[in-house]
Amino acid sequence: MEDKITSIVTDDRIDEILHLKATKEELLIILNYIIMDYKKYQMTDKILLQSDKMQKLNFEECLDNRFVYLFVPGVKNSMDSTSQKEVRYTYEPKDGKINKEKYRNGRKTESTDITFEQLNKMVSSFNQSTGAFLSSKPNFAESRFVAPLLPQEEVSKREKVQVKGGQIQYVQQPRKNRPAFKNYTAEEISKHNKPGDVWTVLNGKVYDISIYMDYHPGGSEKLMLGAGKDCTKLFNQFHSWVKGHAFLEQDYIGNLKN
């Protein structure tokens, strides 16, 4: 397995598993973690893995392929393994740990070491919470509209990041091109899910949180979990005692249409 790589490919992301001298069991742990991450962010348990010959693959078969293409319902995959992806992850097993690195548009933004035991715990926690929720949901469109919950160990960290300013500075920002106040469907809201254009739903109210992305103490990445989705359960996982409408009122643009 020396120098062998298995890459999980979508149109905007690629995850590269370096085999090196890792055992098959260790490689499967990494693969399970990657698939969990896709389930979490796509909010579905309906994942299809295929070879470049369009053959359906199980997890062990994936490790025998250089490129594996991941499909979820409603998301296009052009099966392009040559172009640079917006996000790239690499997983290098070494000395009983995995060095996980993240690249955005070719630039390395993160590098962390994590143990196989930690990966297993995260997958297990996901399967018991969000994973169980997804598998019980017969309505795919409904389940995709609900922002994913996070493993409890991630919630407990409550890491802070450097932001542009505090609540006062955020409130003082000018609001240009504010959307019309009205009732919005889930389909309309789900289209606003990219940096610079982020809507979310909290307790049935719709908010345009595009400006707040730069002022959220927990960072924009956490907010993106609720981009174009109903973030109520995720919000309560972190801030159950906080009245969200009190500090997002100026970005309240309507209500969720049932």
Backbone dihedral angles phi then psi of residue 180, each to the nearest 5 degrees: -65, 140
CA 215 vs CA 178, 192, 218, 219, 241: distances in Å: 19, 19, 9, 8, 20
Predicted TM-score (pTM) of this structure:
0.56
Query: Residues of the chain with pLDDT > 90: what percent?
Result: 53
Here the tokens at position 53 are: 């010959």
Q: What is the pLDDT of residues 156-165, one digit of tens each?
A: 777 777 788 8
Local structure of residue 78 (DSSP, 8 states)? -
Instruction: Tell me the pLDDT tens digit for each residue of 208-217.
Output: 999 999 999 8
Residue 93 pLDDT? 95
Q: What is the CA radius of gyration of the chain?
A: 19
Instruction: Quote the CA–CA distance of 207 and 93 in Å, as a whole number.
Output: 42
Confidence of residue 13 (pLDDT cuts 50, 70, 90): very high
- Residue-wise pLDDT for 111-147, tens only, equals 999 999 999 999 998 888 776 766 665 444 455 678 7
Q: Taking 50 as the threshold, does the pLDDT of residue 1 lie above it?
A: no
Percent of the chain as helix, strand, coil, to the nearest 5: 35, 25, 40
Mean pLDDT calculated for residue range 180-199: 92
pLDDT interval class at 19 (50, 70, 90):
very high
pLDDT at 121: 93
